[in-house]
Every structure is written in C-alpha cells, then in structure tokens.
Structure 1
Amino acid sequence: MIWLTWRQMRAQTLWTAGVIAAVAAYLLYLAADIRESYRLNITDCTTTCDDAAHAFTDQFGSGLLMISLLLLAGPALIGAFWGAPLITRELETGTHRLVWNQSITRTRWLAVKLMIVGGVSVLFTGGLSLLLTWAAGPYDELVNSRFEPLTFAARDLAPFGYALLAFTLGLVVGVLTRKTLVAMAVTLLVFVVFQLLMANVLRPHFAEPVTETIAWADGNTVGNIDSFGIGPDGAGIQGFSIPGAWVISDYIVVYKGDGTEVTADDIETCNSQGGTPDDCMIALDATFDVTYQPADRYWTFQRIELGTAVGLSALLAGIAFWRLPRGLN
C-alpha cells in the first residue's frame, strides 16, 4: 500500500520537492545577506542609525513579502493538486475498481493516503515556514510587527495547520464532487476565503482586546503616530502602531482634556498661534483611546490558529472516512 501510494504521488512529490529545494536555497542565501546587512547597518552602526535602519527594512521588505505570499499560497496549491485528486483520480481512471476490491479496506487505504501524502504536505510547508522564520529573524526583530497578517500566517506554527487543513479540505471536496477540476477549483476558492476570514474576522477575537487611554504627550513614547488630521469623524489619528502589538483601532478620535473631541476650530486656533501640532495637542491635554492585542499574546494566537486548523482538519477527515465506504462505487 505504501509502495502504491508512492508510485501514484511520485511525480507530484518530486516536482514539489524541487520547488521547495529552490526556495530553501534562496532562503539560506537571503538569511546570510540579512545577517550581514544587519551587522553593518544596525549592530555596528555609529552615526545616522535611523536612516540605516530604514534602508535595511527597505532592502529586504519586498523579498520577504513575496516569500510570505508564496508560503500562504503553498497550502492552497497542495490542497488543490494533492488533496483534491486523491480520490477523484481513482474514480475518473477506474483504478478504484481494482484497489477497493483487494484485501485492503477503503478505510485503511484512506488512512495510509492521509498519513503519507498529508504528512509530506505538512512537512514541506512547515519546514519552509520554519526556515523563513529563521531567515527573517533579524528583520522581524527590528520591524517588530509579528501580528501583521502576512507575517503572522507565514511564520512559526500557523503554516503547519494551514497545510493540513488545505489537504483535508481538498480530499473532502473531491469525495463530494467526484470531479477533479471542480474539486481543485472549489478547494482553492474555499481555502482563500477561509484565510481571509481567519485574518480579518476570527483572529482579532481570539482574546478580548485591550483598550488603553494614551496622553498625546506619551503617544510617540508608547507607540508611533503615523498621521494626524481632520476627517469625517473629527480630528483623529490614522495609523497608530505599538511595537510588537496588533493595533485594531483604525481611525482614532482625539479628545481634549475636558472629554470633548478636538475640532477643526481647535486646529485652526493652534495654527494661528504658530505652534506645532504636537504643541497644540499637548496644550489641549489631548488623549486618545487605542484598542489592541498585546505583543505577549503572539504565541497564544499562534497556538489557537494551529488548533483551529487541526480541529477543522479532523472534522473534514471524519467526513471523508464516513463518506468513502458509503456511495463511492
């Protein structure tokens, strides 16, 4: 049974291994380049270090982003090209008549397929994610934004769960549709929708976010104020970041010391006096409320996301084991 599974998956496994090897070789080269640049621009920096830090992030940001996107696409492709055809190929070629009439039961046949093919897909994706996490270590430490959606989903534990989920999803869709091309298309669509829902709907609510009132005078000490101006909702901050944390607040309204919102008239009065926006806001004793997930919840969120993916994979595998002996003839 193991030999048969290898014969059937040999071509897919070899070309996938070739792609993984090429990406791994690039990551090893990238890791050496990142560490050398980090030493020159950050560790050994003596003057204009802020400019050196920006140059460092600009140099490697785009490359790491592309690798992260590739790692996010990997599980979806494995689900479509490995999981979906696992049973539909047997049905369309008619080989199921031979395989399922031997002494090996359908349940055992599926279990071996899941362990070997599913296990290889998880190892491929998970190993690549760990290599990326190691390669990007100095960059991630400097940028300190591990909760950023693409970074979070492509590092550490989450990709292991995504690979397993995508494979079992493709398998179950193949069992239900019994058509390879249909199963592949549905698998890709459903998995992409799941990733979007996880990042934008589910992940922000893994734990109750923290809401903190910050004085304007401390704004650039606690975090970083990206921009400030007048919008439809009044005077507010667009883009506030806290190192290592996940700021959920989008547009943050600014309040004066008496609890009322800062208005356009307040800004005009400040401008007429010739002060800077910071001076004006400090004079008004301005504050703002920020809702965020603290940095120390990162590993908790990683484990929750991994557990969610594994739980859904177990449910999908159960559907496959229930369905296979009942109606696939």
Structure 2
Amino acid sequence: MIWLTWRQFRPQAVTGLALLAAAAILFLVTGWRMHHSYTTALAWCALPDACDGATAGARALGAQLSQLQRSYEPMFVLLQLLVIASPAAIGIFWGAPLIGRELETGTHQLAWNQTVTRTRWLAVKVSVVGVAAIAATALLTWLLSWWAGPLDHLNGDRWAAMTFASRGIVPLGYAAFAFALGVTLGLLLRRTLPAMAITLAVFAAVQVLVPALIRPHLLPSTTSTYSIDQASASRFHDFQGTQTDFHFGLPIPQDAWLTSRPPVENPSGQVARIADYSDCFPDGGDVPRLPDIGACLAEYDLHQTVTYHPASHYWPLQWMESGLFLALCAALVGTCFWWIRRRQN
C-alpha cells in the first residue's frame, strides 16, 4: 500500500521537489551574498573607535546597513509570501486530489476490493503525503529563517504579521491544517476542482481571521494607561493627529507586540480632538515638542491606553497557534475516517 501511494503521488512529489530545490538554490545563493555583506560591515565596525557614538564611521555603517536593507526588501517580502503560500499550495495540489481524484475516477474500488481495508487505505495515504508536506514546509521555513537573519535583526519586528506567520513552528501547523482540509473536502465533495477551490478560499479566510481575532487573545495581554502631562509626554516616541483624534507613541517594553493604541480620551471616555485643545498645538508648520504639548494638556486630565504582549509571549503564542491548527487538522482527519467507514458505496 505504501508503494502504491508513492506511485500515485510521485508526479506531485517530483514537481514539489523540483520547486523546493529551486527555492533552496535561490535562498542559498542570495543568502550567502547578503550574510557576507552584513558580516563584513559589522566586522569593519568592530575595529577600535570605528563606530563609537555619532562618529563618521557610525554614520557610514548606518547608511551601509540601510542600503543593504533596502536592496533586499523586495526579495524579503517575496520569500516570506512564498513560505506563507506553501501550505495553501500543499492543501490545493497535494491534499484535495489525494482522495477526491480517486473517488472521482473510481480507482479507489480497486484497493477496496482487495485485502486493503478502507481505514488502512486512508491511513497510509494521509500519513505518507502528510509527512512529506510537513517536511517540505519545515525545510522552507528553516531556509527563510536563515536567509532573513540579518534583515530580521535590522527590522527588529518579529511580531509583524508576515514575519510571525513565516517563522518558527506555526508554518508547520498551517501545512498540516491545509493538507487535512484539502483531503477532507476531496473526500466529501468527490470532485477535485471544487475541493481545490474551496480549500484555497477556506485557508485564506482562516489565515486572515486567526491573526486578527484569535492570536491576540491566546494569552492575556498587558494594558497600561498614561496620563497626558509633561512628565509622561517626555517619554513618548511620536505624535500623530487628525481632525477627529490624536495619539502619542506610548512607551512599551523592547520587542513587545503592540496590539492596541486607541486615541487620547478625556475623563468621560470620549475621544479627544485637536480642535478642542487648539491652544496646546503649534500653528503652521512648526514641529511640536511633546513635553510642551503634554504640559499644556495636563490641566485637562486626558489619558491614553496601550495594550501589548511582552517579548516573553512570542514562543508560547507560536506553540499555542500551532496547537490550534494541529487540533483542527486532527478534527478533519477524524472526520475523514468517520466518513469513509460509514459509506456503503
């Protein structure tokens, strides 16, 4: 049965292996070049007094690293999209046809009329191709993590939606879920093309909903409220305002994930508007000084809230989100076994 599964899966496996090899070559060739440029710049800066403070050497290093970041930014986005899209491709081209094509063409009858039971037939197919899917995703994720190491260090934001979804272990959970989703839809619909289309639609919807609605609430977040006065405003990073509201860049711990930064509110909980406090904001093109604005607003008893996840939540959230998708995968596979046992024809 394993040999038969491999023979049926071989065209897709060869195609996937060729694409994986091409991606690996791209990662390695461009990655070695980028890593060499990055380490060379840092090695030059390691010379005595080369990059101390605001010296010309420090400015030159900053310009060199910024240029390196800009040069590889388009490829950085493209390769992240490649890793994020690979589970969807696995679900569409490996999962959906695995059972759906056999039921559509009737070739499953050959195996069912022999000594192979339906349960064993399904178990071998799902196990062999599922392991290949997770292994391929793991290799792609590792290659991207190595390739993007210098850029991740320069960006300093591992919580970004695309970065979080293409690093660590969550891509493996995505791959397992997408594969099981394709298999389940192929089994239920008994048609390959509809199963492929619905797999793509459902997986895309889940990829949008989980980061926005579920990921921020998997662990309790931290909420801090700051009064707007001269002392607190001196700690703020920036200021942004419109006709309807304004807010400050509140301080949060390093490498934390900012999940919510609502605008400034008055003591009644209503959103404050710049027009209501126009005497505290400079006219024309003058650059506002945050301590001066805070000192002027202090008498109005305004406040602003910020919600974030600390850096220590990164790996627990990775594990919890992966566990969520693995649980969905297990539920889908269980549905497949229940469905195929109850079928009379």
Contact 2:161 2:211 survives alignment (8 Å): yes
- Identical amino acids, percent of aligned pairs: 38
Number of aligned positions between the proteins: 321
The one-letter code matched in structure 1 to 2:317 is F
Per-residue CA deviations over 1:214-260 (Å, capped at 9, x if unaligned) read: 5221123xxxx3x512341x32248988642211125432779xx99
Q: How many Å apart are 1:168 and its aligned residue?
A: 0.5
Q: How many Å apart are 1:144 and its aligned residue?
A: 1.6
Q: Distance in 1 between matches of 2:271 and 2:200?
A: 49
The one-letter code matched in structure 2 to 1:326 is R
Q: Distance in 2 between matches of 1:239 and 1:58?
A: 27
The one-letter code matched in structure 1 to 2:342 is R
Q: What is the aligned partner in structure 2 of residue 244 from structure 1?
A: 255
Contact 2:236 2:290 survives alignment (8 Å): no
More strand by share: 1
Change (3 A) 1:328 1:121: farther
Q: Distance in 1 between matches of 2:254 and 2:189?
A: 47
Contact 2:235 2:250 survives alignment (8 Å): no
Residue aligned with 1:208, SS = coil
Q: How many Å apart are 1:64 and its aligned residue?
A: 1.4
The one-letter code matched in structure 2 to 1:22 is A
Contact 2:103 2:190 survives alignment (8 Å): yes
Change (3 A) 1:103 1:10: same
Written as runs of structure 1 = structure 2, the 5 A alignment for 1:158-197 is 158-197=170-209
Per-residue CA deviations over 1:170-214 (Å, capped at 9, x if unaligned) read: 011111111111111011111111111111111111112111235
Change (3 A) 1:269 1:166: closer
2:117 matches 1:105: yes
Q: How many Å apart are 1:328 and its aligned residue?
A: 6.3
Contact 1:206 1:304 survives alignment (8 Å): yes
Change (3 A) 1:268 1:62: farther
Q: What is the aligned partner in structure 2 of residue 291 from structure 1?
A: 307
Written as runs of structure 1 = structure 2, the 5 A alignment for 1:225-264 is 225=238, 227-232=239-244, 234-237=245-248, 243-253=254-264, 261=272, 263-264=274-275
Written as runs of structure 1 = structure 2, the 5 A alignment for 1:60-99 is 60-99=72-111
Contact 2:265 2:272 survives alignment (8 Å): yes
| TM-score for both structures, normalised by structure 1 | 0.89
Q: Distance in 2 between matches of 1:203 and 1:24?
A: 30
The one-letter code matched in structure 2 to 1:118 is G
Contact 1:252 1:290 survives alignment (8 Å): no
Q: Distance in 2 between matches of 1:241 and 1:17?
A: 44
Residue aligned with 1:324, SS = helix
Change (3 A) 1:254 1:134: farther
Where in structure 2 are there 5+ consecutive unaligned residues? 46-56, 227-231
Where in structure 1 are there 5+ consecutive unaligned residues? none
Runs of 4+, deviation exceeding 6 Å: 238-242
